[in-house]
Structures are given as C-alpha cells and as structure tokens.
Amino acid sequence: MRGSWRRIAAPIISDIIRTHSDETEKEIRATLRAAYPFGERKRWPYTVWCSEVNIQLRRWRIWKGIWEYADVSQLSLFKED
C-alpha cells in the first residue's frame, strides 16, 4: 500500500485548490479540512494528507506570487562587508 494514501489525496487537494484559487489561503485550508477523505484524523493517512496539502499550497503560493520572506531588515546580518 506504499504511496497509495498520497495517490488518493493528491487529486482531491489539487482539484480543491484549482477550483478555489481566487479565495484566501485560510478559506482554501478550511475547504481542504472539510474534504478530508480518510475518516478519523489520525496516524499515517492524516500525516500524508497534511504533507500533501502543504506541498500543493506552497506551489499555489508561488504561482500566485505570494512570497514568504523573513523580515527584510534582518538580511543585513548576512551581508559581507
């Protein structure tokens, strides 16, 4: 059964993100939470679901141009003089 949880979860998550792409991430996450297909939110199936949600939402943020940077004022810590 290796990888089958992800094979089931990936198209569901992808479809929800695609059809709700004009909404905020918080709203998309709420829709994904309601669409969880594996019953009780426990153990490996839930871990795989959460992992796949994070992977696909990261791609969605990149596609939408939503960047998550650290505080720009702290970048001077890494500059060489």
- Walk along the chain (81 residues) and give the pLDDT tens digit of each residue: 456 999 999 999 999 999 998 888 899 999 999 999 998 989 999 999 999 999 999 888 777 776 555 455 655 656 565
Residue 33 φ then ψ, to 5°: -60, -40
Task: Evaluate if pTM is beyond 0.85.
Answer: no
Residues 23 and 26: their CA atoms lie apart, in Å, by 8
Alpha-helical runs (H) found in 20-42: 25-34
Amino acid at 20: H
